[in-house]
Amino acid sequence: MDRRSFIRTGAIGGAGAAASALAAPAYAQGNRTLTMVTSVPDGFAVFDDAAVYLANAITEMTDGQITIDKRPAGSLVGAFEVFDAVSSGQADMYHSADYYFINQHPGYAYFTAVPFGGTAQEVMNWYMHDGGRDLHDELGQIFGIKSFLAGNTGMQPGGWFNKEINSAEDLQGLKFRMPGLGGQALGLTGASVQNVPGGEIYQALSSGAIDGAEWIGPFADERLGLQEVCEFYYTSGFHEPGSALSAAMNLDVWESLTPAQQAIVEQASVATHSWNLAQSYANNGAALDRLQQGGTKLMTFPDDVWEAFGTASSQALDDYMDDELYAQIRESFEASMRKSSRWQTVAEDAYRQQRDRILGM
């Protein structure tokens, strides 16, 4: 039995006929409706905004031939169950962050973010021009899905804490929400890492179930209300320097689309990425000012904490190198990042330092 046959029949126990019924696209006068499950509730700034933009773009660009029925986390499947739902055919497509699915394959981390990884621009350089998209497809073939980058939050902060982090020792036993390989690295520093869905972060912080959490950035974090339950905001993090969001479609559904419809889905995903990244950066500065004016204390990690993050990140990334495809993805990603970083450092970074000095920014 091949992998795609297995996941259709056995990946989610009990899905059976109900999954088949959900997976079958709805037709009306030549049109069809595809069910898209997501990993956050409706209205979550940046993350859900990308899902809404993508759904609307596909519908508008196909002139209504394809309508996307967006189902938020918990309405059809849980936040972290969307991958299995699409792989098995329970849903037609998902919008999520692929590093939630490193238990399926650790290579998926690179299609969201890895610790000390690429900025948003560097991620897209790799994805569009240095082999990343082909590797995303290669992973998808294993699980019967077709994937696209469809959003980017940009640089993510170090997160919200209920106490100051003055040294690496303060990480010991800290109950902190952080997913992906960044979370695995943080666990290696002695923290107790929790993988809490976005829709449950506020409650977990307010109840004391966790001591701190990272989310997306000032604009999204303010909308979530994290400033109400934590005092200290570390504004630069090691774990997600340019976090991509992804859309993925069940491969049988993808192959049932016309070539024109497939091209539209791909271009709608590219447009979503650009729009979403600009949305995040356009709003983060003003949101950060509001947070600070409201009493949030903006913090930076001391050097010894950064060193601890670096040591732990190297170990976390190395732990999967015995997987051939993971190793191929990592080597491809890092080669592209080194190539991109050279020009950015000597040109853009130097320019911004001088611009900010001269204009007093």
pLDDT digit string (tens) for 102-153? 999 999 999 999 999 999 999 999 999 999 999 999 999 999 999 999 999 9
Q: Is residue 273 in some structural domain? A: yes
Average pLDDT over residues 217-239: 97
Q: Is the pTM of this model over 0.85?
A: yes
Question: How large is the average pLDDT for residues 93-97?
Answer: 98
**Residue 30 pLDDT class (50, 70, 90 cuts):** low
pLDDT at 272 over 80: yes
Tell me whether residue 189 is in a domain.
no
Q: What is the CATH number of the domain that holds 88?
A: 3.40.190.170
The radius of gyration of the chain's CA atoms, rounded to the nearest angstrom, is 20
Decide if 182 is inside a domain. no
Quick one: average pLDDT of 190-204?
96
Would you say residue 175 has pLDDT above 50? yes
Tens of pLDDT, residue by residue over 278-336, are 999 999 999 999 999 999 999 999 999 999 999 999 999 999 999 999 999 999 999 99
118 - beta bridge partners? none
Position 59 pLDDT exceeds 70: yes
In a domain, 17, yes or no: yes
Confidence category of residue 25, pLDDT binned at 50, 70, 90: very low
Domain of 124, in residue numbers? 3-150+242-281
**Separation CA 344–CA 350 (nearest Å):** 8
State both tokens at 161: 């804490």
Q: Token pair for residue 241? A: 């320097």
* pLDDT given for residue 2 in this prediction: 40
Give the other-Cβ count within 10 Å of 188's Cβ: 18
The whole-number pLDDT of residue 354 equals: 94
Q: Which residues contact 43 (CB under 8 A, 6 or more apart)?
A: none
Q: Is 41 contained in some domain?
A: yes
- Supply the mean pLDDT for the chain: 92
In a domain, 317, yes or no: no
Buried b (16+ CB within 10 A) or exposed e, 127-148: beebbbbebbeebbeebbbbbb
For position 361, what pLDDT does the model report?
A: 87
Q: Is residue 320 part of a domain?
A: no
Residues 71-85 have pLDDT tens digits of: 999 999 999 999 999
Is the pLDDT at 29 greater than 90? The verdict is no
Bridge partner list, 145: 250
DSSP annotation of 234: E
What does the pLDDT read at residue 9? 35
% of the chain exceeding 70 in pLDDT: 92
Give the pLDDT confidence score for residue 5 in this predicted structure: 37
Is residue 272 a contact partner of residue 149, using CB atoms and an 8 Å limit? Answer: no
* Mean pLDDT of the region 187-209: 96
Answer whether residue 19 shows pLDDT above 70.
no
**81 located within any domain:** yes
Q: What local confidence, expressed as pLDDT, does residue 14 receive?
A: 35
Q: For the chain, how many structural domains are there in total?
A: 1
| Pick from 37, 22, 26, 30: nearest CA to 63 | 30
What percent of the chain lies above the pLDDT cut of 90? 90
Distance separating alpha carbons of residues 212 and 153, to the nearest angstrom: 20
